[in-house]
Structure 1
Amino acid sequence: MTARAIPNDAYHRPTLDAHAVAALTGRSADAVKMLRLRGRGPRYYKIDEKLVRYSLADVDAWLTASPVDTAA
């Protein structure tokens, strides 16, 4: 079995905390937390018991996943 190399940039990809996600989405950090707890927010990474991070790509995917078409 051959070990797969981890891309060099994997450890340098920026992650966002709830406050940064809140700023991007126009919600409060508490609202982002509640969405996470209800399973309705963007995908997240639980680093340890209290440390949660989001990738910008996951937040962007979540924001664009359910557009509402208002054209009649």
Structure 2
Amino acid sequence: MARDPDSIQREIEQARNALASTLDQLGTKANPKRLVDGAKSSARNTLAEPKVRIPLIGVGVLLVLLILKKIFS
């Protein structure tokens, strides 16, 4: 059964519009500035958690003490 040319044209236009929409969404998601901002935000949130922040402070203090010991010994 042959298909109506107008029907085929409408299907092509719908597919084209869907593809354009998908490309726009991908472009928004892959925006480098957005990715960097998201990574910064994620790092800040992670470092703000006490279970991460307190051990990091401890490691920092330990490093300072080791450096001071190395300098004064």
Q: TM-score, normalised by structure 2?
A: 0.23
Higher strand share: 1
Of Structure 1 and Structure 2, which has the larger fraction of its residues in helix?
Answer: 2
Q: Which has the higher contact order (CA 8 A, sep 6+)?
A: 1
Larger Cα Rg: Structure 1 or Structure 2? Answer: 2
TM-score (norm: length of structure 1): 0.23
